[in-house]
Structure 1
Amino acid sequence: MRFTALLLLLLTLIPAAHADDGHAALHRLFAEEWERGLRESPENAAYNGDMRFNDRWSDLSLKAIADSEAADRAAMARLHAIDRKALSAQDQLHYDTFEWLLNKDIERQPFREYLMPMTHQGGVQTADGITELLAFSTEKDYRDWLARMDALPVLIEQTLALMREGVRSGRTPPKAIMTRVPAQIAAQLVTDPEKSGFFAPFKRYPESFTDAQRAALSKEARTLITGKIVPAYARLGEYFNAEYLPATRSSIAATDLPDGKAYYDLLARYYTTTALSADEIHGIGLKEVARIRARMEAVKAETGFKGSLPEFFSFLRSDPRFFYTSPEALLEGYQAMSKRIDPELVKVFGVLPRLTYGVRAIPASIAPDTTTAYYQGGATDGTRPGYYYVNLYKPEVRPKWEMLPLSLHEAVPGHHFQFARGMELPEMPMFRRTAYFVAYGEGWGLYAEQLGYDMGLYDDPYDRMGQLTYEMWRAVRLVVDTGMHAKGWTRQQAIDYFKANAPKTDQDIVNEIDRYIGTPGQALAYKIGQLKISELRARAQGRLGARFNLRAFHDEVLGTGSVPLDTLEKHMDAWIAAQAAQ
């Protein structure tokens, strides 16, 4: 009897030990791959608040890129060596999420995206922008930045090598968007080093620094800018203007790249986290445009405007009452809008993130060529808040009626809630706390715009038109992105379609279309993600009836962390079933 009991005890312990071994191996893989990611991308490390690599840039040499791709494949082999079935349900979710991300990275390798290292929205020509992420509080912080400045010519040479290989292999970006880049490079060719973006940190020393420290650091910065940085950018400009720009492709479609159709199909799957085809996404977009347009007609009638919908759009784009007259007033307007939203959040959330956020202007060097606003997440250790960046370039094209849905999307309860809540899930491995599935993240952002109704914020018909405009904007994206990249649409055709269906200003429309050209497929994620979250909410309401708790629903969606849409659906279906069973 004693032997039998002991044998039975050992048999029950063996699976548990095996599961523990799998758990340990899995989380060791997660930790090591997280560390590798930080080491390979010092810029991403800084974004996450890890400043250990602040004296260097990413290595963009072809050897380093090949080594990184090989490491991805090795990580996948390590993952598949772990018995998924022996893992806990939570670890299986982590396993599946990690596998999805790694698999998409490996699937993208043959398309050699790194051979197009610059876009009109960023690249080595805007490298000084990383100062927005860095803290300059100690002499080491400044010394690290000086080391980065000293290494910039190497980064530029690596970028040039990638561009030359891109030209040789037929992998170049569209000329239509790259014509914006020469001005960005020219902005770095300063004659006064103190006017360089790289010098900005040396204009704001901590009070504790002595005059001698300040003088020595500033002198070294001026020497590097004049002697190394400006000449390196001059070499970049000479090659870009004389050789690269003429060699960029005249077409705008991703399908015109080598293996372009397979590439765009992959991007559509990657960004939407679905198996939807370009034709299916195009059809969804057309249907949504028609539905939202009908709602716009109703709001137009509510305002008392007597003209047609296109005439109403022109009125919204041009009437002075809808615009601030200075960048300063526009920034104050955004700050006031955030203060208006904050107190209402408790109506729709039970859990509010601890991390704070602020409102900042988009740097003037990139504002003319970038979007209306964007969000920058806080540091993972909570040492840097999140920031809602707003575009103050040409306030006369930034209408007041778009500020409410934009703030709901980019700040609270949109991206700030999503990123901050993710970072405040300590039981998750780091890659899960910081993962960004675009369909989940941007789908949540677009869904968050509509929460203004639940919070009682859309009390003005022009604000409601703003919400519909922003929803229409994302529906239009489904049509024009697939149109340009899979159906032969021209850039002008896409601009015209956008303008016919939304009162966004011309400046924004052109910048948006160029963004879709430069980042194929990314724009598909927003509406697809929002439709899924809205579908899940309707499902929960239908199943739970009077017991449906909106605050609990939102807390659970954000508490899931960023995942593919089918994973979110399975998780929320289980949550709905558990709520129904209580």
Structure 2
Amino acid sequence: MSLLKKTFIASIGLFASVSATAMDQKDFKKAFRALPTENVSERLTALQDLRYRWIMESFPSRATYEGYPGQNDRWVDNSSRAMQQRQEQTRQLLGATRNLNVDALPEQQRLDYQLLYQDLLGEVKGFQFPEHLQPITHMSGIQRYVPSVLNSMPRSKAADYEEILARLSKLPTLVTQTQALMQQGLSNGVTPPQITLRDLPRQIRALTPKNPEHSPLLSAFAEMPKAIPQAKQKSLRQRALTIYNSQLLPAWRDMAEFIEREYIPGAQKDIALSSRPDGLRWYAYKVNENTTTDLSPEEIHRIGLAEVKRIRGEMDRIIQKTGFKGDFKAFTEFLRTDPRFYHTSREDLLRDYRDIAKRIDGELPALFGTLPRMPYGVKPIPSYSEQSQTTAYYQPGSNEAGRAGIFYANTYNLPSRPKWEMEALTVHEAMPGHHLQIALAQEQADIHPLRRMALYTAFVEGWGLYSESLGYDLGLYKDPYSEFGALTYDMWRAVRLVVDTGMHQLGWSREQAIGYFMDNSAKPLHDVTVEIDRYLVWPGQALAYKLGQLKIKELREEAEETLNSNFDIRSFHDALLGAGALPLNILEERMDSWLESQVSVSVHIDTQQVEQPATS
């Protein structure tokens, strides 16, 4: 097969013809043996095809989100045997990729090779650390993604509901496997910090309320399509209730009791990843994995301190601009407590988010030559997770699955949701932040599906944070409080560099990290506490935002300085986003090449202008 240049739908058709169930070891070996051996270009494309199919069929939840067919009746197999098998298969793919003759590849496939090799190598390096032994945190795990996956499944016909029922019936196995991994982690001293687990039993019990009709696990059955006959609807609901009462209730209740009785009491009291077995090397790996840089934790800590100092100066300037009489601490307390900055109803909060999103959409053509076709919506974070969830997040859409992108906003605890943060947050999560970048990547017909679904944190979140600075160009931040809110969000990500490395590398306490955050931000204590606990269970992840933003800003400044009057912001953004998400090291190489091409064009145009004969 030549370099794949098909639409995502065509690719799905190709892979669906290979398998409509799981890729077992026999399937993998057969596909691996069938890889082309003569033509290096065809072999690379075939490796990408196999890697893509392997991801979709090894992790059925991802397949659901991406709209890949044949996997909606399954969950990932997290038995020891299956996990060992996946590791071995990944090593085989890495070996095959490493042995490719890169020099024989056509230029347009060099990037494909770089990404495939770097991804596989990073994944194999991670096998040395027992990440799998802490499969649940208060931020992630089956209690989070199971309801989301079920609610993302197609449900237009009876056959769709049969797949939901099949998935529900297999869910107890996933719960049991997850609990077994937690038990093993407990025995090996590998757990999330105990302090972060306090809300976990409540999250799990929220999935099985007294009234099954209120369970997030059964929400698909609340309102069914009219195309399904009433008698069939009744039958499907009854079967769902039977599975719920006989299988799901006991499984989830056992897990909640296990967490309360054994897991939380036995969990690690130390907060730092570096306190775990081989923790310093583990944290260094997480830093590299999330930032796609070679920066050390100490270097990142210093970058964070410098950014905090810089942004603090900008914030002090805004305080003076408002005419407020008082210091930084008094001003942030004023922002946290004055009723004028807060909504009194969840509905009003959501309405204002939607209004901001609509205002932004009309300004985007001035900054981007290419905009995505996929729509997006604004919804509240589900009630079962809102209490310990962050301020907002984005869930990608899928044309194949018939699902729009969603900007989820947290409407819990309204006194912790200030109006002055809403514009920056909308820019980050929706347009031109996550929705624009991810939807554009999904719509790139000339790159492999494997690349279209890539979500390198430093790029994706770095772009989201960089997008916040575009708010000025979009007509936002017109009052000093919203401008201060934008700086608060920039400060938030700078503080992350300091506190994440501080806690996991330099011995900071949780209380010290909370205090540092509060001293340098206007965010409410509830938000700050949620954030700090997030950094504790996702070591290194929060570093990606600011480092990604700084790299994108550096690339833009270099382009502006080099091209001067020939710099076109629309062309820059299109080039930056045109290959999908990329690791920062590869992004820099790509944008350097783009800049060289722009310089050549500029020189050619200038030469033509000089040589053009005068006219009268």
Aligned to 2:95: 77
The superposition leaves residues 373-395 of structure 1 with CA deviations (integer Å, 9 ceiling, x where unpaired) of 11111116373221111111112
Note if 1:464 corresponds to 2:483: yes
* 1:119 equivalent among 116, 123, 137: 137
Aligned to 1:335: 354
SS of residue in 2 equivalent to 1:295: helix
Residue 56 (structure 1) aligned with residue 74 (structure 2): yes
Distance 1:577 1:48 in 2: 35
CA contact (8 A) 1:474 1:523 kept: yes
Give the letter aligned to residue 105 of structure 2. L
Alignment partner of 1:375: what SS?
Answer: strand
TM-score by length of 1: 0.95
Partner residue of 2:308 out of 280, 289, 293: 289
Residue 306 of structure 1 is matched in structure 2 by: 325
C-alpha separation in 2, matches of 1:28 and 1:19: 10
1:264 aligns with 2:262: no
Q: Distance in 1 between matches of 2:339 and 2:488?
A: 19
Is there any run of 5+ residues in structure 2 with no aligned partner, and where?
Answer: 1-35, 602-616
Distance in 2 between residues matched to 1:168 and 1:137, nearest whole Å? 45
Give the match for residue 566 of structure 1.
585
Structure 2 SS opposite 1:279: helix
What whole-Å deviation, never above 9, does each CA across 1:208-241 have from its counterpart, x for those lacking one? 1221011111111111111111111111122111
- Tell me, yes or no, if the aligned pair for 2:341 and 2:418 is still in contact at 8 Å: yes
8 Å contact kept, 1:19–1:88: no
Count of residue pairs brought into register by the alignment: 565
Contact 2:73/2:167, CA 8 A, preserved across alignment: yes
Report how far residue 132 of structure 1 moved. 3.2
2:127 matched to 1:138? Answer: no
Describe how 1:63-462 pairs up with structure 2 within 5 A. 63-126=81-144, 127-379=146-398, 381=400, 383-462=402-481
Counterpart Cα distance in 2 of 1:193 and 1:122: 23
SS of 1:173's equivalent? Answer: coil
- Which stretches of structure 1, 4 residues or more, deviate above 3 A after TM superposition? none
- 1:426 maps to a residue whose letter is A
Q: Secondary structure at the match of 1:452?
A: coil
Question: Cα deviation per residue 1:86-124 (whole Å; 9 max; x = unaligned)?
Answer: 112221111111111111111111112111011101322
1:131 shift after superposition: 2.7
Note if contact 1:443-1:529 (Cα within 8 Å) is conserved in structure 2. Answer: yes
| 2:534 equivalent to 1:515 | yes
Distance 1:158 1:55 in 2: 17
Equivalent residues of 1:190, 1:230 under 8 A apart: no
In the aligned structure 1, how far is the partner of 2:325 from the partner of 2:295? 40
1:372–1:508 contact (8 Å) kept in structure 2: yes
What's the CA shift string for 1:316-362, capped at 9, x where partnerless? 11111111111111111111110111101111111111111111111
Structure-2 residue corresponding to 1:12: none
Match of 1:490 among 495, 506, 509: 509
For residues 419 and 485 of structure 2, the distance between their equivalents in structure 1, rounded to whole angstroms, comes to: 9
Between structures 1 and 2, the one with greater helix share: 1
Residue 190 of structure 1: how far off its partner (Å): 2.6
Residues in 2 aligned to 1:189 and 1:535: alpha-carbon distance in whole angstroms:
49
Q: Secondary structure at the match of 1:110?
A: coil
Percent identity reads 43
Letter in 1 for 2:162: R
Quick one: which amino acid aligns to residue 108 of structure 1?
G
Distance 1:382 1:199, change over 3 A: closer
Q: TM-score, normalised by structure 2?
A: 0.90
Aligned to 1:38: 56
- Describe the SS at the equivalent of 1:355: coil
Q: Within 1, Cα distance between the matches of 2:416 and 2:527? A: 8
How far apart in 2 are the matches of 1:74 and 1:223? 43
Shift of 1:191: 2.7
Q: Distance in 1 between matches of 2:141 and 2:152?
A: 16
Moved more, 82-91 or 513-522: 82-91
SS in 2 for 1:453: coil
Contact 2:151 2:219 in 1 (8 A): no
- 8 Å Cα contact 2:207-2:217 kept in structure 1: no
Q: State the alpha-carbon separation in 1 of the partners of residues 524 and 338 from structure 2.
A: 12
Per the alignment, in what secondary structure is the counterpart of residue 406 of structure 2?
A: strand
Distance 1:19 1:461 in 2: 63
Q: What's the secondary structure of 2:362's corresponding residue?
A: helix
**Unmatched tracts of structure 1, length 5 or more:** 1-17
Query: Hey, what's the Cα distance between the residues in 2 that align with 1:398 and 1:49?
Result: 34
Change (3 A) 1:54 1:291: same
Equivalent position amino acid for 1:71 in 2: Q
Greater shift after overlay, 157-166 or 480-489?
157-166
Q: Does 1:25 align with 2:43?
A: yes
Equivalents in 1 of 2:551, 2:203: separation in Å?
Answer: 39
Instruction: Name the aligned partner's letter for residue 457 of structure 2.
Output: V
SS in 2 for 1:522: coil
